[in-house]
């Protein structure tokens, strides 16, 4: 799989390392420019390259967006058209500033990203697990129910399936929380499943309890 990664912080760089180890190709970008990514690209080897945000977005079969939520408005929407976009962002008012529509629970951060990228298919994932656990918790040899869960939310079944295939290749199990609205709320900071490490079987049981 070809994966564009926009944002080279803890989550973006962790997913890049995992994806390369799984045999995928990655193109990385950040706001500081390709030159700043030279050490990471050298570490990752020939399956990795650095480029502009536009180049990373157009490179990927899917594109991971892992930047502070408050900066999503800087993303060049045309470059993401037709792409599956994985939203690993979380809304933290102390960092991102206030978004009254999220504070009032009128929408979610993922829905706002989808509105900014109208030509993309947005899937919420990789946002509920601390990056250090993400780096070391994948166990591809285990049965799916016994692996740690990574939650996914989205409105397009094919897009969710593509993201789910990546999650499985990295040694985790995708667990569907629903659409961007209802499922996105379940994955937000402060929710009962946020930052809680569970096997896939435990995660499905937890979700069933929340919905009953």
Average pLDDT, the chain: 96
Tokens 């899917």 belong to which residue? 62
What domain count does the chain have? 1
Instruction: Identify the pLDDT of residue 28.
Output: 98
Please give the residue range of the domain that contains residue 51.
Answer: 2-211
Query: How many secondary structure helices (H) and strands (E) does the chain include?
Result: 10, 8
The reported pTM is 0.95
By CB neighbour count within 10 A (0-12 exposed, 13-18 middle, 19+ buried), where does 5 fall?
buried
CA triple 105-109-111, angle to 5 deg: 90
Residue-wise pLDDT tens digits, 152-161: 999 999 999 9
CATH at residue 27 = 3.40.50.720
pLDDT band at 79 (very low <50, low <70, confident <90, very high): very high
| 102 Cα distance to chain centroid | 19
Instruction: Identify the pLDDT of residue 198.
Output: 97
Element (H, E) at 158: helix 157-169
Residue 123 DSSP SS3: strand
Tokens 């994806």 belong to which residue? 19
Q: Partners of 25 in the beta sheet?
A: 2
């Amino acid at each position: 799989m070809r994966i564009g990664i926009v944002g080279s912080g803890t989550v973006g760089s962790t997913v890049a390392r995992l994806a390369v180890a799984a045999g995928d190709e990655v193109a990385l970008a950040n706001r500081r420019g390709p030159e700043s990514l030279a050490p990471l690209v050298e570490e990752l080897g020939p399956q990795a390259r650095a480029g502009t945000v536009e180049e990373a977005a157009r490179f990927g079969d899917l594109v991971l967006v892992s930047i502070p939520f408050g900066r999503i408005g800087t993303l060049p929407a045309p470059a993401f058209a037709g792409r599956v976009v994985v939203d690993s962002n979380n809304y933290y008012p102390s960092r991102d500033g206030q978004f009254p529509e999220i504070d009032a629970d009128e929408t979610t951060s993922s829905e706002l990203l989808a509105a900014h990228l109208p030509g993309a298919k947005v899937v919420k994932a990789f946002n509920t697990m601390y990056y250090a656990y993400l780096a070391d918790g994948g166990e591809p040899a285990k049965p799916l129910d016994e692996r740690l869960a990574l939650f996914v939310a989205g409105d397009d079944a094919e897009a969710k399936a593509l993201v789910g295939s990546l999650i499985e290749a990295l040694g985790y199990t995708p667990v569907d929380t629903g659409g961007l609205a209802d499922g996105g709320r379940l994955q937000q900071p402060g929710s009962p499943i946020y930052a809680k490490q569970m096997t896939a079987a435990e995660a499905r049981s937890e979700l069933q309890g929340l919905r009953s």
